[in-house]
Amino acid sequence: MSDKYDVIVIGAGPGGYVAAIKASQLGLKTACVESWTGEDGKSQVLGGTCLNVGCIPSKALLEVTHKFEETSHDYESMGIMAKDVEINVAKMQERKAGIVKQLTGGIAGLFKANGVTSIHGHGKLLAGRKVEVTDKDGNTKTYEADNVIIATGSKPIEIPPAPFDGEHIVDSEGALEFEEVPKRLGVIGAGVIGLELGSVWARLGSEVTVIEAQDTFLPVVDQQVAKDAKKQFEKQGLNIVLGARMTGAEVKRKLVNVSYEDSKGKQEAKFDKLIVAVGRRPYTDGALAEDSGVKMDERGFIFVDDNCKTEAPGVWAIGDVVRGPMLAHKASEEGVMVAERIAGHKPQVNYDCIPNVIYTSPEVAWVGKTEEELKAEGEEYNVGTFPFAANGRAMAANGTAGLVKIIADAKTDRILGFHVVGPQASEIVAQGVIAMEFGSSAEDLALTCFAHPTLSESVHEAALAVGGGAIHIANRRKKK
């Protein structure tokens, strides 16, 4: 087989494997390089961080622990008597591993079905669109391509006050592998990952304290939604400490002694486990030769244009290594776009319509602008909200926390932002994404017939509320 390809993709995460499959479907001879090795030390593992130690395993744990919490605390009010419910952590972890194995194996099957060549090893971009691959034994082989797509993903950020030890102080990956429920759990960072992982173990009985350096809770989220979410999380037992700058962490007698400073001064806390979830950084270690022609900024992000093209001819970069949110679905969309552009098409990714989700309970999801952003930009807008507490299906499902919020341009009525905190927010937000992709107005949603009884009726009511015409809540009085 020739070592020359039309496309070589470096990285088989959600961006890389999708780009490779799409490129091959478009008739391009494609190879995908991935260094991840299985527990046997030999086999290649596809799927990247998302499938192996990120999106999928965390959702598997969140789903199990949510059901456990419901069974333990909520079912009695519904007439279901389930006493002495127990969690088998080993079984839970075994199930999670099974799901991961099934999905990663599925990618290998998709590669085979679509004619993608999978190359096992660490890929490094050389000058002239050549890719050097080093296998697990240190042997190297060089491949050539007309186009190279860099999709090497990201890795957890480690902070000096709390270096990882893999046992007591762990990153997000280590937090997925606890063999027993920690009695006291500390989480550094109240972002998406910190809140999700904190929720997993809090539901199983951990006393969880989340320490966040910023004074504002979820500053990137619409603050009406963020405040509602924080209230629900604290009601569930999460102790969220804002404006707290961590100064040190030391393991003594199998306990993590944490020191931090907040508005009250120096503070100390002891935990059985400490999760550091302060964000992720691009994983470009050893991926680029100095003469590759690809340029990065001081944080390791690769410079690309709006279409993910680097400054090196025929070299593209997608996903977590480039600007924009570190989201699996964003990486996948960029992968498809780049593959199609290589094939001569002219697609674009609409970065204004990429949804964000926090898979806690209640879930938090949003797309578009927040009210705070629009105020800062001086835009005139109207807002419509509807609480799940007034939704019949939410009542029947015992999930009445949260609301739907729609923000529309005051002059054109075009939807500018769509925000949800509540049950199945991750699914409901797709309605906002579709509406915004088609340039819908709030009136368009208000004129749409929604099935009854459904959670989605809250979207209908929020859209009606934008114009002061909600049916099932009292509307705000219009200014005279």
User: pLDDT for 340-352, tens place per residue?
Assistant: 999 999 999 999 9
How confident is the model over 120-151, as pLDDT tens digits?
A: 999 999 999 999 999 999 999 999 999 999 99
- Classify residue 442 by burial, with Cβ atoms within 10 Å: 0-12, 13-18, 19+: buried
Query: Are residues 244 and 188 in contact, defined by beta-carbon separation less than 8 angstroms?
Result: no
Residue 1 has pLDDT above 50, yes or no: no
Q: Would you say the pTM of this structure is higher than 0.85?
A: yes
The last residue of one of the domains, among 308, 323, 351, is: 351
Residue 430 belongs to some domain of the structure = yes
How confident is the model over 2-44, as pLDDT tens digits?
A: 689 999 999 999 999 999 999 999 999 999 999 999 988 999 9
Q: Indicate whether 41 and 151 sit together in one domain.
A: yes
Q: Indicate whether 336 and 377 sit together in one domain.
A: no
**How far apart (Å, rounded) are the C-alpha atoms in residues 442 and 383?**
10
How confident is the model over 92-109, as pLDDT tens digits?
A: 999 999 999 999 999 999
Residue type, 160: P
Q: Indicate whether 147 and 287 sit together in one domain.
A: yes
Residue 379 belongs to some domain of the structure = yes
- 215-232 burial: b if 16+ Cβ within 10 Å, else e: eebbeebbebbbebbbeb
CATH of the domain at 52: 3.50.50.60
What pLDDT does residue 476 have?
79
Domain region containing 267: 169-278
Q: What is the mean pLDDT of residues 431-447?
A: 98
**How far apart (Å, rounded) are the C-alpha atoms in residues 161 and 172?**
17
- Classify residue 12 by burial, with Cβ atoms within 10 Å: 0-12, 13-18, 19+: buried
479: DSSP letter: P
Domain count of the fold of the chain? 3
How confident is the model over 375-420, as pLDDT tens digits?
A: 999 999 999 999 999 999 999 999 999 999 999 999 999 999 999 9
Query: Are residues 210 and 243 in contact, defined by beta-carbon separation less than 8 angstroms?
Result: no
Residue 310 belongs to some domain of the structure = yes
**How far apart (Å, rounded) are the C-alpha atoms in residues 248 and 141?**
44
Q: Which DSSP string corresponds to 417-471?
A: EEEEEETTHHHHHHHHHHHHHTT-BHHHHHTS---SS-TTHHHHHHHHHHTT--S
**Tokens standing for residue 302:** 């690769």
List active site positions.
452
